[in-house]
Amino acid sequence: MLFNTHSHVDTGRQFAADRDEVVARAREMGVSQLMVIGFERALIPVTLAFAERHDWVWAAVGIHPTSALEWGPDAERELREAARSPKVRAIGEVGLDYYWKDKAPFEVQRDVFRQQIRLARDLGLPLVIHNRDAHEDVVRILEEEGADEVGGIMHCFSGDWEMAERCLALNFYIGIGGTVTYKNNPVGREVAQRLPLDRIVLETDDPYL
């Protein structure tokens, strides 16, 4: 069984002309399960509707850290409503992104991250974690907020082995994708080699990677 645990085929502009055909080809090539990942408030219904059209596609809904300024009572209500669907299996992608310094203030990102962890715990759903250049803050907040209660996936893992061990202790799986093949990513390959096979999940992050 092949399970692509992180896809944006539901919303990626690159798939506008042949979205359903792309999904059909993936199925023909042996992908038996697919998780489409939300990241903006306006796209929550799009992601959910796409998953509902395909019996082998599942959805995660959440507010991406670069969109953290979208967070508020209405956004939380919409996520809670979406999570009532049996198609929604996770909250994500959520986390911290310190690479894009002009998107959302880091303090806002941290607050919204905490609130979405609490939402996931309240709903009993695992988390899909986005982390870019924020390793220590991501793990610290996960630990402080008791994220081990729900666990989840560390999307496109980019940390070192010490960080991986902390994430494993929090009941997270480690997402491995195309970046592990990059020539300048020896740390990623070391982590992939040391991980227990039953704690690795595969992902494409299409169309972005």
Helix, strand, coil percentages for the chain (3-state, nearest 5): 45, 20, 30
- Check the annotation: does 155 bind a ligand: yes
Residue 120's identity, in one-letter code, is: A
pLDDT digits (tens, 9 = 90+) for 66-116: 999 999 999 999 999 999 999 999 999 999 999 999 999 999 999 999 999
Give the Å distances, CA to CA, from 118 to 95, 123, 125: 13, 9, 10
CA angle 175, 208, 171 (to 5 degrees): 15
Neighbouring C-beta atoms of residue 148, cutoff 10 Å = 15
Q: Look at residue 29 in the predicted model and tell me its pLDDT.
A: 92
pLDDT digits (tens, 9 = 90+) for 160-207: 999 999 999 999 999 999 899 999 999 999 999 999 999 999 999 888
- Check the annotation: does 64 bind a ligand: no
Q: Look at residue 23 in the predicted model and tell me its pLDDT.
A: 86
- Check the annotation: does 205 bind a ligand: yes
Q: Look at residue 139 in the predicted model and tell me its pLDDT.
A: 99
pLDDT at 126 exceeding the cut of 80: yes
pLDDT digits (tens, 9 = 90+) for 127-170: 999 999 999 999 999 999 999 999 999 999 999 999 999 999 99
> Is residue 150 helix, strand or coil?
coil
Give the Å distances, CA to CA, from 25 to 30, 51, 53, 153: 9, 16, 16, 25
Q: Which domains does the chain have, with CATH numbers?
A: 2-202 (3.20.20.140)
- Residue 180 and residue 154: Cα distance in Å, rounded? 14
Nearest to 4 by CA among 113, 153, 195: 153
- Check the annotation: does 54 bind a ligand: no
pTM (predicted TM-score): 0.94
